[in-house]
């Protein structure tokens, strides 16, 4: 009896990884979100004064279209003059891109203690109107709820109702986060969920920005997705860097195409499951031995 039960338990242990491996990893699957988070922890002179001119347009790039969402920090630490420089940076980025209904669509999510979607992907399909909307953005002040902002962007700004193209169109989804502080909420898990859903995240830190938080938010490789500038006065310098990054002919962003991160997490979870099963088997074996001893004494 003891030998038979032991053999059955061993067979179950061998079959467990295969049974779990056959389950598909969807965008919202906790295993894929955990895999994203797990892999992330492993890799873990004065410029001239400018004003935002909505009518002025600059060179643009012809590339694969994007669904692009800017997530901008307007907490108390961002002074009014600095926030104006952020808006100039956004306008410069708009000038850089090929904007249109069938080209790149842009949305802006503004956050502090609360989150406000300033405009969504389906609102503006030409540069002058979009830049006028940018000039009207006002800072929200107070705290820094970066995790809430990312969640709002994922659940509301990147939806088809807000103008994001359907999944079958294979349009790359990109979020660019600009912040100068440390998040007052958790960003690791919600960022992992956003990346697992197919959103490529760039994190731009300014001045006092927390580098660890930037790394937790950004996509990998981190050296291509995390940027830092000393002050808002030089944030415009990043425009050329993003021009190179976003204006090249891009491969379509897919959800963990090789499932590399999922495999890492799956191996970790499988090992933990086997250890737990081994402990249970040892417990059952001990109980059987105690029962046999009791039967032998009767």
Upstream peptide bond of 278 is cis (omega within 30 degrees of 0): no
Average pLDDT for the chain: 80
Q: Out of 228-232, 265-269, 282-286, pick the least confident.
A: 265-269
Confidence of residue 263 (pLDDT cuts 50, 70, 90): low
Percent of the chain whose predicted confidence (pLDDT) is above 70: 70
Range of the domain at 189: 66-247
Beta strands in 40-114 (DSSP E): 66-73, 105-111
DSSP strand E in the chain: where?
66-73, 105-111, 115-119, 172-179, 199-206, 226-229
Q: What is the pLDDT of residue 240?
A: 84
Q: What phi and psi, each to the nearest 5 degrees, are found at residue 185?
A: -135, 180
Q: Is the distance from CB of 43 to CB of 225 less than 8 angstroms?
A: no
Give the CATH number, domain containing residue 126. 3.40.50.410
The total number of residues written for the chain in this structure:
298
Number of domains observed in the structure of the chain: 1
Q: Kindly tell me the sign of the dihedral angle through the C-alpha atoms of 78, 81, 87, 88.
A: negative
- What tens digit of pLDDT does each residue of 121-180 get? 999 999 999 999 999 999 998 899 999 999 999 999 999 999 999 999 999 999 999 999
- Return the percentage of the chain with pLDDT > 90, whole number: 53
Please indicate, yes or no, if residue 57 is contained in any of the structural domains. Answer: no
Q: Which helix (H) or strand (E) holds 195?
A: helix 188-196
> Do 124 and 157 contact (CB within 8 A), yes or no?
no
Do residues 124 and 94 touch, judged by C-beta distance below 8 A?
no
293 falls within a domain:
no
The DSSP output letter for 237 is G
Tokens encoding 92: 């410069």
- What pLDDT does residue 288 have? 83
Query: Looking at residue 148, what is its pLDDT?
Result: 97
Tell whether 6 is covered by a domain: no
Residue 192 belongs to a domain: yes
Sheet holding 172-179, edge to edge: 115-119, 105-111, 66-73, 172-179, 199-206, 226-229
Listed in sequence order, the residues at least 6 apart from 158 whose beta carbon sits closer than 8 Å to its beta carbon are 67, 69, 121, 164, 173, 175, 197, 199
Tell me, yes or no, whether 256 lies in a domain. Answer: no
Give this prediction's pTM.
0.69
Residue 51 has pLDDT above 90, yes or no: no
Domain annotation covers residue 102: yes
Query: For residue 138, how many other CB atoms are within 10 A of its CB?
Result: 11
Residue 239 lies in a domain: yes
Residue-wise pLDDT for 111-131, tens only, equals 999 999 999 999 999 999 999
Which residues have CB under 8 Å from 169's CB, separation 6+?
A: none
Average pLDDT over residues 28-56: 51
The more confidently predicted of residues 93 and 243 is 93
Pairing of strands 66-73, 115-119: unpaired
Task: Tell me whether residue 60 is in a domain.
Answer: no
User: pLDDT value at position 172?
Assistant: 94
Residue in 155, 148, 181 with CA at minimum distance from that of residue 28: 155
Which of residues 23 and 22 earns the better pLDDT score? 23
Q: What is the mean pLDDT of residues 195-224?
A: 94
- At 21, is the pLDDT very low, low, confident or very high (cuts 50, 70, 90)? very low
């Amino acid at each position: 009896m003891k030998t038979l039960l032991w053999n059955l338990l061993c067979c179950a242990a061998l079959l467990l990884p295969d049974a779990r491996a056959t389950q598909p990893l969807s965008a919202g699957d906790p295993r894929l979100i955990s895999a994203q988070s797990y892999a992330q922890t492993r890799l873990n002179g004065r410029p001239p004064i400018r004003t935002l001119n909505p009518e002025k347009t600059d060179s643009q790039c012809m590339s694969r279209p994007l669904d692009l969402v800017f997530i901008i920090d307007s907490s108390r630490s961002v002074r009014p003059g600095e926030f104006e420089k952020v808006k100039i940076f956004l306008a410069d980025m708009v000038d850089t891109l090929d904007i249109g209904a069938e080209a790149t669509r842009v949305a802006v999510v503004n956050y502090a203690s609360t989150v406000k979607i300033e405009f969504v992907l389906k609102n503006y399909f030409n540069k002058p109107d979009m830049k006028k909307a940018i000039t009207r953005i006002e800072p929200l002040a107070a705290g820094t709820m970066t995790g809430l902002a990312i969640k709002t962007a994922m659940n509301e700004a990147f939806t088809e109702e807000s103008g994001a193209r359907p999944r079958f169109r294979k349009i790359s989804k990109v979020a660019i986060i600009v912040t100068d502080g440390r998040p007052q909420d958790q960003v690791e898990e919600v960022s992992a969920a956003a990346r697992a859903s197919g959103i490529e995240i760039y994190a731009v830190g300014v001045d006092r920005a927390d580098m660890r938080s930037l790394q937790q938010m950004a996509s990998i490789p981190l050296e291509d997705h995390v940027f830092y500038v000393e002050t808002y006065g030089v944030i415009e310098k990043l425009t050329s860097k993003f021009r190179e990054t976003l204006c090249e002919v891009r491969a379509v962003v897919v959800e963990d195409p090789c499932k590399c991160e999922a495999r890492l997490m799956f191996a970790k979870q499988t090992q933990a499951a086997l250890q737990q099963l081994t402990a249970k088997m040892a417990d059952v074996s001990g109980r059987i031995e105690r029962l046999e001893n009791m039967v032998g004494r009767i």
